[in-house]
Amino acid sequence: MPGRNFLFVPGPTNVPERILRAMDRAMEDHRSSAFPELGTGVLRDLRQVFKTTTGQPFVFPATGTGGWEAALVNTLSPGDRLIAPRYGQFSHLWIDLAQRHGMRVDIIDVEWGEGAPSDRIGEILSQDKQHEIKGILIVHNETATGVTSDVGAVRAAIDAAQHPALLYVDGVSSIGSIDFRMDEWKVDLAITGSQKGLMLPAGLGIVCASPKALAAREQAKCPRVFFDFGDMIRSNATGYFPYTPSIPMLYGLRESLAILSEQGLDNVFARHQRLAEGVRAAARAWGLKLCAKAPKWYSNTVSAIMMPEGANGADVIDVAFRRYNLALGAGLARMAGKLFRIGHLGDLNELMLLGAIAGAEMAMRDVGIQVTPGTGVAAAAEHYRSTAAPLPARPGATPSPDPQTAPGAKPAVPPRAAVRA
């Protein structure tokens, strides 16, 4: 199909040219004396993305799932009791992983479309006088439903109950795109993957561990080899890895961290919020609901758009892909067919999203969903236009007022005749 593919699944996300070029290089000796500059640099700079000064990052050749496993097996023993709210497919899968390692998980089932119930978590912890509960598993951004939970509120509930359990947070679809504060929220194990906010291909499972989490290793009896923090700590101390790292991924990660630092994390979060608001405006204009039940749960990285009665989200996704070269996210597990998802994270801007919104609108009409043509696109476009940042100055020009907003200002673009002359 001519033209480019529009990748709007909530991960993998678009890989910027800069990262592709940084990754496009010959292999190197990962035991050379030059290698530690790369290894040490990425491990140091990763801390900024987690917003931690005391946490220790670990980079595994894995994915987010590997990050989940690494976090658990290094800090827990089979039989340990955990609590975990379940509000989507990813919280479900993490619980399943813990159970397969022999952990006892008290599952708090929450309606899909809502997030972590911090009050309920606080109640359970305050009843656990013997401190049997060793950890709390929270998925910060539930990618399956487009719901972001308030990790700060969960931390406040843990502190109010004066409970020593470790706080495990899956930030796979939030870290690098939605504000995440490891130190402030006293997160003990924070997990992400490379293929979302970090704008890389899949292939890295990244975990950041607090000093308390590192200390928990002493008691943790789960078998661990590939994911052993101890082996990593020993090798990383000199800038190396205990086994062969993916050289292109590490160069890509270095570039990704440089891009995020140049853009400024807070600007990156604000861009994601603004882009997400445009998608939500489109959904409203179509007369469609989000899976997220209330604005406080709205995710700035993925919107799950509910299908009207009788319509199948899988048909929309299929037509969007085959006819318009647009990849939308599917409804997962119990949400299969009931929704489609637009991922809006990573290296994205307004016009890219408008393309996706237009494609989704066309595909919905193609399968018989009665949305009014142009309404979603118009709503999002107006949102982006009306909230646009002031025009950046032309390179070398003296600062001038924004021609759109300055009272009585002449257009900044000279008339055509003047250009010809």
Choose which of 143, 177, 210, 256 interacts with ligand PLP (CB under 6 A): 143
Among the listed ranges 113-121, 166-174, 182-190, 239-247, the one in contact with ligand PLP (CB under 6 A) is: 166-174
d(CA 187, CA 75): 14
Choose which of 39, 64, 278, 329 interacts with ligand PLP (CB under 6 A): 64
In the complex, minimum distance from the CB of residue 178 to ligand PLP, in angstroms, rounded to a whole number: 11
Residue 241 in contact with ligand PLP, rule: CB under 6 A = no
Task: Look at residues 168, 218, 205 and name the one whose alpha carbon lies nearest to residue 188.
Answer: 168
Residues 202-221 that bind ligand PLP (CB under 6 A): 202
Token pair in block for residue 373: 């043509």
Residue owning tokens 């709503």: 379
Residue type, 134: K
Residue 192 in contact with ligand PLP, rule: CB under 6 A = no
Using alpha carbons, list the distances in angstroms from residue 131 to 126, 127, 237, 354, 400. Answer: 9, 9, 34, 51, 63
Helix (H, G, I), strand (E, B) or coil at 295: helix
Do residues 192 and 175 lie in contact, with contact meaning Cβ atoms separated by under 8 Å? yes
d(CA 284, CA 294): 13
Residue 170 in contact with ligand PLP, rule: CB under 6 A = yes
In the complex, minimum distance from the CB of residue 208 to ligand PLP, in angstroms, rounded to a whole number: 15
Helix (H, G, I), strand (E, B) or coil at 239: coil
Residue 65 in contact with ligand PLP, rule: CB under 6 A = yes
Do residues 347 and 13 lie in contact, with contact meaning Cβ atoms separated by under 8 Å? yes
Number of residues that bind ligand PLP (CB under 6 A): 13
Residue placing its CB nearer to ligand PLP in the complex, 118 or 173 = 173
Identify any residues that bridge with 190 across adjacent strands, giving them in sequence order: 169, 208
Residue 172 in contact with ligand PLP, rule: CB under 6 A = yes
Residue 346 in contact with ligand PLP, rule: CB under 6 A = no
225 burial level (CB within 10 Å; 0-12, 13-18, 19+): exposed
Residue 139 in contact with ligand PLP, rule: CB under 6 A = yes
Q: Where is 208: in which H helix or E strand?
A: strand 205-209
Q: Residue 37 has what DSSP assignment?
A: H
Non-local CB neighbours of 397 within 8 Å, separated by 6+ positions:
none
In the complex, minimum distance from the CB of residue 57 to ligand PLP, in angstroms, rounded to a whole number: 17
Residue 135 in contact with ligand PLP, rule: CB under 6 A = no
Residue placing its CB nearer to ligand PLP in the complex, 42 or 139 = 139
Residue 69 in contact with ligand PLP, rule: CB under 6 A = no
Distance in angstroms between the alpha carbons of the first and the last residue of the chain: 42
Residue placing its CB nearer to ligand PLP in the complex, 114 or 361 = 114
In the complex, minimum distance from the CB of residue 58 to ligand PLP, in angstroms, rounded to a whole number: 15
**Alpha helix locations (H) across 181-264?**
211-216, 229-236, 247-263
Residue placing its CB nearer to ligand PLP in the complex, 40 or 226 = 226
Choose which of 56, 145, 173, 246 interacts with ligand PLP (CB under 6 A): 173
Among the listed ranges 57-65, 211-219, 235-243, 382-390, the one in contact with ligand PLP (CB under 6 A) is: 57-65
Q: Of all residues in this chain, which one has the CB nearest to ligand PLP in the complex?
A: 64
In the complex, minimum distance from the CB of residue 322 to ligand PLP, in angstroms, rounded to a whole number: 23
Residue 90 in contact with ligand PLP, rule: CB under 6 A = yes
Interaction site with ligand PLP (CB under 6 A):
11, 63-65, 90, 139, 141, 143, 170, 172-173, 193, 202
